[in-house]
Structure 1
C-alpha cells in the first residue's frame, strides 16, 4: 500500500537530562534523571502520522553507529515504511542533547551527523514514494538544498506540501514559499521568519499575514498553551486549547504537525484537522520524551 504521507527529514537519538532548572553559561548543575529516546523532528512527525491514523514513509539518514539500528527499529515497530532511510558509513547518527527543567521548558543542542548528508539525490532515489503520497512533510534539520528540492518536487507532483520551519534562525528563501501549502511555525519560528515580534494572537496574526504576503499558501502559528492561529484561504481564526498540566513539551509541535497531516490524509476538513492536531499535542505534553509522548488514535476522543 502506498504511504499517504511522506516525511523528508531528520532522525536523532535524544539524550535527555532532567534538572530543576536550565544551567547558565559555565555552570554545572546536578541532574535528576537521564535517558535516551528516539527523536528528530522528521522521525517524530512520521511516528505521529502512523499513530494518528495514516500510512507513512520516512526518507532520511542514520549513521553506522549503535544509534542507527535503534532509530530505524523505533520507526518500523510503529509501521513506518523505512525503505527510504539510508545508512551513512563512518558518520554518527544525529543526536539531540536536551535538558528539561522543572517547569517543563527545554534547551536543546542538535548535532546533525548523518542528517547533514541527506542530499537531493538521496531523496530523488525514492521518488516513487513521493509520487504515491497525498501529503509531504519537511522540516529544517536536513540541508537546505534538500528541503528546497523536496518542496519543489511535492508542488510539481500536486501533493499537499507542509513545511514545519524548525529550527528557523532567519527568513526562508523567497523561492520556497510558492511550493508550500501549509507553513506551520511556532512563535519563535514565526518571529525568525518575519522579523516581527510574536507573543500573542494579535502579533501571530500579523506574522502569519506577512508570511502569506511572501507567498505561503496557508499559515498555522502554534502558540503552545494559547492554542493556534490560522491565516489562509478560509480567512483568519484562533483555535484555543484546553488547559493541561505539562510535564515535557518536547515533540509537542511534531505531534501537532503529524496529527494535522494524518487528518488531511484521512480526508478531514481543515478546521477539524487543526483541532485534532491540537488534541494530540495536548496529550503529548503530559508525558516525558519525544516519540514515547506521542498518543495513539484510540486515545483521542472520536
Structure 2
C-alpha cells in the first residue's frame, strides 16, 4: 500500500492599484496618518494533494494477475489579501476567501496474462469514478464590483459533477516465425456522459539480417473524452484590454451564455486514426 499527502501555498501579486485607479482605500490599508498611495493586492493559493493506492498480484493457475485500487484528490483554495471591495466602502474586509476547485477520482483495475510460448494473451478491466467541484467564495468577495484583482468564484460558478467510466480490453502477441511478430488489442469503454466506444490496434515487427535490421509498424484508433475540468471550469478575473479595466468571465461549456446565447456546440470526444512505421539498424551487433 502506498499513500501520500502534500500541501503547498503560494503568493503572487496583482497590478498595483494607483490612486487614479482606485481613488480611496477608506483608510483600511493605509497606515493611519500616512497619505493614500494605492495598494497592491495579493493572490494566495493553498493546494492540497492526497493519494492512496493498494495493489496485489499473483498467479491463478497458469495465469498471472495484477490488480490495484487508487484514490486521488487535488484541491486548491483561493484567497485575496491586501485589497478591498470598493462597493462595501468602510465595511470592506481586506482579505477574502475567494472559493476553490477540487477534483477526485477512485480507480480500480485488474490485468491478467498468460504466456503460451509463441503466443501471449492478456485481458483487463478498469472502473473509474470522477468528481469535480467548484465552490463559491464568501459573498463579500464578489458582491458589487467584487474584490480588487480577483472577485472570486460566484454562486453561478459552482458545480458538482460526476462521471463513471468502465473499460475492458483483450490483447494478443504471436511470434508467427522467428522473425515475424504480430499483435492486436481491442478495448471497449463506456462513459456515463459520452456513451460507448470501441478502439483497436494492430502491430507488426519483422527482423532481418540476424536481427541487425528491424521494421515496425502499427495501425490504431483512439478515443478521449473531454475532462470534467474542460467542460465545467469557469471563473471571473480582472483584466486590462487596451485602456479598459474590467472583470471578464470564462464560461463553461454547459453555460447558457455559451450554449444558447453564443451558439457554441457541446464538446465532443476526440477520435483518432493513427498509422506509424519505423525501422532500427544495429550495425555493431555480432
Same structural fold, with TM-score higher than 0.5 when normalized by the shorter chain: no
Q: Higher relative contact order at CA 8 Å, sep ≥6: structure 1 or structure 2?
A: 1
What TM-score do the two structures reach when normalised by structure 2? 0.19
Higher normalized helix content (fraction of residues): 1
Highest CA radius of gyration, 1 or 2? 2
Higher normalized strand content (fraction of residues): 2
What TM-score do the two structures reach when normalised by structure 1? 0.18
